[in-house]
């Protein structure tokens, strides 16, 4: 099963339409089933699939520090054109 298929299965089981990758990876790490190679594979597969809409949200932590969070929205019925 590919990483995208595992993410789809996770989202359908929890009836989710979107999740941040930080949250998903955190859940997988708690299960003890995550490693950096899986993270690289997931990001590569997300860039190649049309089943997810990927967006980025910049969050300001304090005056000097901000982080960018990756949000994936599962869109099984919508065709998204990749650039």
Q: Domain coordinates of the chain in residue numbers?
A: 3-74
What is the reported pLDDT for 28?
93
Rounded Cα distance, 20 and 24, in Å? 6
Is residue 52 within 8 Å of 72, Cβ to Cβ?
Answer: yes
What is the reported pLDDT for 78?
54
Beta bridge partners of 59: 67
Does residue 12 surpass a pLDDT of 80? yes
What is the reported pLDDT for 21?
92
Q: How do residues 28-57 score in pLDDT, each as one tens digit?
A: 999 998 999 999 999 999 999 888 899 999
- The pTM of the full predicted model, rounded to 2 decimals, is 0.78
Task: Report CA torsion sign: 61, 15, 40, 53.
Answer: negative
């Amino acid at each position: 099963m590919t990483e995208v298929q595992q993410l789809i299965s996770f989202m359908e089981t929890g009836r989710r339409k979107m999740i941040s990758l930080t949250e998903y990876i955190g859940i997988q790490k708690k299960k003890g089933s995550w490693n950096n190679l899986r993270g690289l594979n997931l990001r590569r597969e997300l860039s190649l699939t049309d089943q997810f809409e990927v967006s980025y949200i910049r969050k300001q932590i304090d005056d000097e520090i901000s982080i960018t969070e990756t949000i994936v929205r599962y869109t099984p019925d919508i065709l998204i054109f990749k650039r």
